[in-house]
Amino acid sequence: VVTFMEELGFESRDIGKLLCRCPEIFAANIENTLKEKIRFITDLGIPEDHFPRVIRKYPEFLVCSIHNTLKPR
């Protein structure tokens, strides 16, 4: 998970802060959870270089449900 976060553009200090704010991220499945959320924000048109900023502001985004929480009903 740490390597995945680094590939998204996070620095070590940011990864540590994410761990403190939302430790569930580091138990998440990369393929089924984390990459799914990255595809979701990509589909919304958010550029890749903005991913760290978005996730730093709302790290819980990476572990919440797309269908129950993120998509409009």
Amino acid 63: pLDDT: 93
Mention every residue, 6+ apart, whose C-beta is less than 8 A from residue 52. Answer: 8, 9, 10, 14
The 10s digit of each residue's pLDDT in 24-70 is: 999 999 999 999 999 999 999 999 999 999 999 999 999 999 888 88
Distance (Å, rounded) from C-alpha 45 to C-alpha 18?
Answer: 23
Which conformational region is residue 57 in: left (phi greater than 0), alpha (psi within -120 to 50 degrees), or beta? alpha
